Structure 1
Amino acid sequence: MYAIKTRCLARTRGQLHAGKQVNIAFKRSVSSYEPKFTENGMAYRGRPYVVDRERPPQFAPPPNAPAHIAVLGGGLTGLTTAFYLSEFLPSTKITLYEASDRLGGWIETKEVEVQTPDGIKGTVRFEGAARMVKPQTQLSGPPKWDDLIFYELVHALGLADELRHSTSLEVDASGFLYYPDHLVTMPNNLTFKPLSQPLKTIRSLVTFARLLLEPAFRGIIPSFFNLLKSNKEVVTMLEKISSHQADYSIGQFISTRLGRPDQVDRVASAIIHGIMGGDIWKLSLLSGPWQNMVASYRRKGSPDSMSALNTPVHWTDYRLMDVLCRNQGIWDLANKYLHASGIWFRNGFQTFTDALAVDLSSKPNVTIKLGEPVESVRYDEASDRVLITTETEKQPVAYDKVVSTLYAQTLANITNGQLPALENIPAVTIQLVNLWYPQPLLNHPYHGFGYLLPQALGFDRNPECLLGVIFDSDREFPIRNPDGSPVDPSNPPNRGADTVPGTKLTVMLGGHYWDDLPDEFLPDSETAIELAKQAVERHLNLDPSISAQAVARAKLCRQCIPQMLVGHVNHLYAARDQLERNFHGRLAVAGQSYTLPGVLHCLRAARDMAMQIVHKAAGIPTEDDWPGVWVGDTGLDRLTTPLLHQPMEIIPKPILPLRYNSGATMGKDLYQHVDALGRVWTWKNKVNNTAFEDGKDE
């Protein structure tokens, strides 16, 4: 047995940053790549990747384009960065370095042979990391359109036919919370319209009343009243954060809002477990998962107008949307999945990274070096270039620009002490355990995305250090159609590639519970599988004989999710200065060591960094004229610019396309919205001169 008992005890509040304000000081080589999926004849049923040549917009290569660019890391961010660079700079030589023998990073789909109790053989697919994306149509705070980058890549790579999706109407719950000894339903689609929908309103009120009786939500009613009383203090906190004068933990902020720290431990911490696997009392509000909400609060302590009619919009986000929506293929995909709650690839998410890898390997200006761990990255003042050496290439290779998508501490270790700030960005280790049971619907009646465990559970109730469990089979074998109607039991849908039905789960272990735990005390694969099985058996009340039939696979993801702790932006300030001073704009960073984890955040960071390089070479003023860039030579400019100094406008929601059910349509030079009175509203695209026009009545 491994010694992790003390690591699994729920953290006490205030262990690191809770209740304390942190001040912020301004200051081997292959010519082609064949993914394992296609080797096994699984991807696209034997047909090759088909590239749609309606690519991102191209133009003549910039006269000052770098001759040679290196991208460090062959995960999702690295592949995407290399893709955009190779598209927009076809005359530039791109070299992609990857330490392992495969591309895709943590994203990995494995096919496993299984057999049912009655002897039927088949295969199921286990996801080793990301499995889906969630469109950004329901974000709180200012709208974002990073999902359009996903659609852009899907369209360019010819993957549209491989997509599958779900809607919120398929389940009654958005998810579940395990507390203290049972699953608590987090209701979905609550309706409070007593005049137009009285029956739905009554059912919603009953559901809400039951929720209030749960131990997890004990004391929540007084917290609602505290939301009003704490408003002034909260606005002060957000004003300091927006100006980068201070930072607070997410736990401290929510505790101030609700007036009850126990609500943070019992509910909010579970959400953070599902997003980052981290400690809510340590993670930064400014840099963490709810940073978009912070952007809703602006000047002089007043919240921006987040009414039914208006919303603050970042200029960089709007410009990104403005450009991408003009591509008809992207526009069509975005509208097709406008009401999707999740989007994935039928054959697994590795389909996406494999397609990027195949595309890159087909380009004459791209070289992929697998099994080439980079040992040294240093700046050569004489040539004004960056020199890279690897385990097999001891002779340094010079590059005009290097983009690192490696984990921050890994980059710090290979830059010979030139980037010490990156050593201060930690990451958590997570053990993923995939489970498949031959019996379908073992999680009934709990259908949804899955369930999460909060920090309030001590070792006695969470000895396995579980973070959460994902119901993969509910996504691929739904009990309802996308419109909410029951599926035909004689012909149930299969939205995945598994050839036999069953109950498929993914269990997440570890995270911040394993902080500072020596590697020798981490559970091995066999132990992790047993821990996951016993936890699921207890949570779902399964018979031990059923657990014994489970087919399992474990994957240890060391330092897979970097943690944005309180004061994270201080490290970014220091890192930006060190990159500028020690590498003179020749080395940039991108990826989830600096921005949030998740597929869409990785894609946005990669595209922005590539476009910054392209448009600097072309002499285009990126701050004003290019969509969504503004990351600078280091990749950190936007992340180190206070929210108060970032261009933002208050925009009527009805004229924003693809958001708020606006119905806004795409025009050649502007966006239009026809309101209930037949008036046409448009927004012209002018920096700092946003013009709204009330059209003539029709």
Structure 2
Amino acid sequence: MSDRTSEQTGTRPHVVVVGGGISGLAAALRLRTLRPGVDVTMLEGSPRLGGSLRVEEVGGVRVDVGAEAVLHRRPEATGLAREVGLGEDLVHPVTTAAQLWNRGRLVRLPRTLMGVPTDLRSLDGVLSPAGVARAALDAVLPATELGEEDVSVGHLVEERLGAEVVDRLVEPLLGGVYAGHAREISARAAVPQVVALLARDRALSRAARDALPPADQPVAPVFAGLRGGVGRLPGAVAAAATAAGVTVRTGATVRDLVRRPGDGWHLVVGSAHDPELVAADAVVLATPGRATARLLSDVAPAAALTLARLDLASVAIVTLAVRAADLPPVAGSGFLVPPVDGRAIKASTFSFAKWAWVREAGAADDLLLLRCSLGRHREEEVLQRGDDELAALAVADLGEAVGTTVLPVDVHVQRWGGALPQYAVGHLDRVASVRREVGRLPGLAVCGSAYDGVGVPACIASAELAVAEVLLRLDTMGP
């Protein structure tokens, strides 16, 4: 077995970022922009960069087949897009008015704060009469006192508003973010804004109403996208990082992480029969939770065990190109599906209606682009079907929802295996324990979707936190 060793020349500090998703890319770029005198290498095991941000061609139109929007109210993703030259391509949805495919018919999705309705009158036609009556008890129930306790989102909302609000509003909304179960997902980690409502008013729905601006008041857009797809962002960040002097390597799997005698780190890269030893003064692990667990198993075993126990959900995105003449008029940006109704799909986005650039891109060929998502935590059996069968399930459900037989002219199936970590009750404490143990190892930091949020802005924020920790270490290093 051959053994190659890569050392940086001179006395410049060397930081290695492991993982080429948006977290790793953001970390690598930020390291170089904040410390131009630091050598930075980014190692990605797969042949491509970007993680779950990806653009593919469907019906001749390049569209997102992963995340298609970012939170505009957080500055990290839109700020990074501007930094890497994509500012002029930032766009906002034409409409965010969504529907609910509820008990076999499409109804307007009531206005909510993460599933907490702001007007109980809007629940008629969404909940049963008994469900509406139970939700009304929110106004007279004693105040809910959590103290420092963490509970599931479902437990909190069900205690105030009843099971039907959870099943028909909270579940479909959270399903689009975590592909998980509301009665298992941590309220403090996933929806801290809902927990904060408890301090505003004993009635959760009344507090949600007061926390949101009036429905008729103009507000800043909640979401942003990129003309040509959010999947363009990783390539632009990688190009900016390379231009800034980052060494970007794909197909470079890190198999082991070892503390170097004296100080610093060694990373074992490549195949078992031809390993390469890469030396680093500091390391940022921007890999998914379980990959990070494997790398931490010898140096931070307790943190590794915590990350290894993090449950994951797999999902699939089925993107369809349909002739405009073959689709009846549809309202809004798409629809959500309550899991309790037992459908295969959990949501559908009318991309052509949501994004002006998608409609324009398909107009030349009279095509409309739509997408459906499938798969939830512990319900991945639907994803074990072949691509053709998975697409057929999506087409059948979509057709039933909109009231016609959908005849796509092109279909793309994108699978995201284990892409969504599940923030179970107690998640914040587990993350804090991981960071405490990792923080005891000089020059090591972690970031990504396993910690502070699964959205693009949250991943970028976690990368910036990891960079700050690593740079603090470098600033205290001797010559």
Label 1:607 to 1:218 Cα distance change in 2 as closer, same or farther (>3 A): farther
Contact between 2:312 and 2:419, CA under 8 Å: does it hold in 1?
A: yes
**Which residue identity lines up with residue 378 of structure 1 in the other structure?**
V
If the length of structure 1 is used for normalisation, what is the TM-score? 0.59
Contact between 2:53 and 2:234, CA under 8 Å: does it hold in 1?
A: yes
CA distance in 1, matches of 2:253, 2:364: 38
Label 1:407 to 1:182 Cα distance change in 2 as closer, same or farther (>3 A): same
Q: Does the alignment pair 1:68 with 2:19?
A: no
**Which residue identity lines up with residue 514 of structure 1 in the other structure?**
E
- Residue 85 of structure 1 deviates from its aligned partner by 0.7
**Which residue identity lines up with residue 107 of structure 2 in the other structure?**
V
Q: Which residue number corresponds to residue 78 of structure 2?
A: 151
Contact between 1:107 and 1:353, CA under 8 Å: does it hold in 2?
A: yes
Q: Does the alignment pair 1:413 with 2:294?
A: yes
Q: Does the alignment pair 1:578 with 2:457?
A: no
- Name stretches of at least 5 consecutive residues in structure 2 with no aligned partner: 1-10, 113-118, 213-217
Q: Which residue number corresponds to residue 70 of structure 2?
A: 133
CA distance in 1, matches of 2:77, 2:19: 20
Q: Which residue number corresponds to residue 587 of structure 1?
A: 444
CA distance in 1, matches of 2:243, 2:17: 17
Label 1:606 to 1:297 Cα distance change in 2 as closer, same or farther (>3 A): farther
Q: Does the alignment pair 1:186 with 2:109?
A: yes
Q: Which residue number corresponds to residue 377 of structure 1?
A: 257
Label 1:185 to 1:70 Cα distance change in 2 as closer, same or farther (>3 A): same
Label 1:497 to 1:89 Cα distance change in 2 as closer, same or farther (>3 A): farther
- Residue 402 of structure 1 deviates from its aligned partner by 1.1
> Paired residue for 2:367, among 466, 480, 502?
502
Contact between 2:197 and 2:208, CA under 8 Å: does it hold in 1?
A: no
The one-character-per-residue Cα deviations of 1:367-408 (angstroms, maximum 9, x if unpaired) are 11100111111223x222222112246242221211111111
**Which residue identity lines up with residue 474 of structure 1 in the other structure?**
A
The one-character-per-residue Cα deviations of 1:22-60 (angstroms, maximum 9, x if unpaired) are xxxxxxxxxxxxxxxxxxxxxxxxxxxxxxxxxxxxxxx
> Paired residue for 1:457, among 320, 328, 341?
341
**Which residue identity lines up with residue 108 of structure 1 in the other structure?**
R
> Paired residue for 2:269, among 390, 394, 403?
390
CA distance in 1, matches of 2:209, 2:63: 42
How big is the alpha-carbon RMSD for the aligned residues of Structure 1 and Structure 2?
3.2
Label 1:218 to 1:407 Cα distance change in 2 as closer, same or farther (>3 A): farther
Q: Does the alignment pair 1:429 with 2:375?
A: no
The one-character-per-residue Cα deviations of 1:315-356 (angstroms, maximum 9, x if unpaired) are xxxxxxxxxxxxxxxxxxxxxx97334322212222211111
CA distance in 2, matches of 1:495, 1:341: 22
Q: Which residue number corresponds to residue 195 of structure 1?
A: none
Identity between Structure 1 and Structure 2 (%): 21
Q: Which residue number corresponds to residue 165 of structure 2?
A: 263
**Which residue identity lines up with residue 398 of structure 1 in the other structure?**
A
CA distance in 2, matches of 1:468, 1:184: 14
Structure 1 residues 518-597: aligned runs within 5 Å: 522-543=384-405, 546-547=406-407, 549-581=408-440, 584-597=441-454
CA distance in 2, matches of 1:251, 1:576: 27
- Residue 222 of structure 1 deviates from its aligned partner by 3.0
> Paired residue for 2:194, among 293, 298, 311?
293
Runs of 4+ in 1 over 6 A off after TM superposition: 306-311
Contact between 1:66 and 1:401, CA under 8 Å: does it hold in 2?
A: no
- Name stretches of at least 5 consecutive residues in structure 1 with no aligned partner: 1-64, 115-122, 137-145, 190-206, 241-245, 312-336, 479-492, 620-698
The secondary structure found in structure 2 opposite 1:511 is coil
**Which residue identity lines up with residue 273 of structure 1 in the other structure?**
G
**Which residue identity lines up with residue 170 of structure 2 in the other structure?**
A
- Residue 436 of structure 1 deviates from its aligned partner by 0.9
The secondary structure found in structure 1 opposite 2:470 is helix
- Residue 231 of structure 1 deviates from its aligned partner by 4.3
- Residue 74 of structure 1 deviates from its aligned partner by 0.6
Q: Which residue number corresponds to residue 117 of structure 1?
A: none
Label 1:580 to 1:164 Cα distance change in 2 as closer, same or farther (>3 A): closer
CA distance in 1, matches of 2:326, 2:194: 37
**Which residue identity lines up with residue 251 of structure 2 in the other structure?**
G
Q: Which residue number corresponds to residue 604 of structure 1?
A: 461
The secondary structure found in structure 2 opposite 1:361 is helix
The secondary structure found in structure 1 opposite 2:396 is helix
The one-character-per-residue Cα deviations of 1:136-191 (angstroms, maximum 9, x if unpaired) are 2xxxxxxxxx32x3333233222222222235xx57xx2111111111112579xx
- Residue 535 of structure 1 deviates from its aligned partner by 1.2
Label 1:182 to 1:225 Cα distance change in 2 as closer, same or farther (>3 A): closer
Q: Which residue number corresponds to residue 31 of structure 1?
A: none
Q: Which residue number corresponds to residue 181 of structure 2?
A: 279
**Which residue identity lines up with residue 293 of structure 1 in the other structure?**
V
CA distance in 2, matches of 1:513, 1:507: 19
Q: Does the alignment pair 1:80 with 2:3?
A: no
Larger radius of gyration: 1
Q: Does the alignment pair 1:368 with 2:226?
A: no
The secondary structure found in structure 1 opposite 2:451 is coil
- Residue 309 of structure 1 deviates from its aligned partner by 11
> Paired residue for 1:444, among 297, 308, 329?
329
Label 1:132 to 1:425 Cα distance change in 2 as closer, same or farther (>3 A): same
The one-character-per-residue Cα deviations of 1:572-628 (angstroms, maximum 9, x if unpaired) are 2432343245xx133211111112111111122222322343355457xxxxxxxxx
**Which residue identity lines up with residue 32 of structure 2 in the other structure?**
S
Contact between 2:93 and 2:223, CA under 8 Å: does it hold in 1?
A: yes
Contact between 1:433 and 1:554, CA under 8 Å: does it hold in 2?
A: yes
- Residue 133 of structure 1 deviates from its aligned partner by 2.0
Label 1:501 to 1:608 Cα distance change in 2 as closer, same or farther (>3 A): farther
